[in-house]
Amino acid sequence: MHIRKATKEDAQAIAHVHIYSWKTTYENVVEQQDIQSLTLQNRITLWETVLTKQINGQIVLVAEEEGKIVGFISGGRERTKNYGYDGEIYAVYMLAGYQGKGYGSRLFKQFVDMMQKQGYRSLLVWILSQNPYRRFYAKYGAEPVEAEVVTIGKGTYEETAYGWKDMNKLMAVVDEIS
């Protein structure tokens, strides 16, 4: 597995991973009609914009296996400025067939390292509260920060923010686990 910074040419492959891993992750959490509200074309447009404009100092890394993008992580400045964190993970997804192989951990480690090198001191991530992979964040010592209701498609769902107040401590845990 190889990890690298994403380029604008990766938009379609990232969109594919985003849609298909989102659907498999949330198939038992989100109503089917709301799962179907995310379309590949919508995600391609989103990722083309993200990779062209670098909004919020966004970092996007991809995980490749034999030249195929199988996962990604993106983040940058914390968007709300309401919780006392300066960095945020915006999205992290891995195709189902590549989960459980340590790829997500390696992607996360490289992302945390890049965020720290760019001067971020803390990190926040929002996930659906019923996300079956929330234990991934707990493994690295994330603390629950806040919960709120979000709309996806026509449904409403609870989302929880998890955070790490000290990026140095997070990096020490990441290094210990790796």
The pLDDT tens digits of the residues spanning 96-131 come to 999 989 899 999 999 999 999 999 999 999 999 999
* Range picked from 2-16, 25-39, 45-59, 90-104 for highest mean pLDDT: 2-16
CB contact at 8 A, 73 and 64: no
Q: Which pTM was predicted?
A: 0.93
User: Residue 82: which pLDDT band, with cuts at 50, 70 and 90?
Assistant: very high
Q: Are strands 123-128 and 143-152 parallel, antiparallel or unpaired?
A: unpaired
Q: How many domains does the chain have?
A: 1
Distances (CA, A) of 66 to 2, 12, 151: 8, 17, 37
Q: Across residues 156-161, what is the average pLDDT?
A: 95
CATH number assigned to the domain comprising residue 32: 3.40.630.30
DSSP state of 80: S
- Structural domain that includes position 86: 2-177
Q: Across residues 53-73, what is the average pLDDT?
A: 92
Q: Across residues 39-52, what is the average pLDDT?
A: 93
CA distance 176 to 178: 6
Looking at the DSSP assignment, which residues form a beta bridge with residue 62? 4, 72
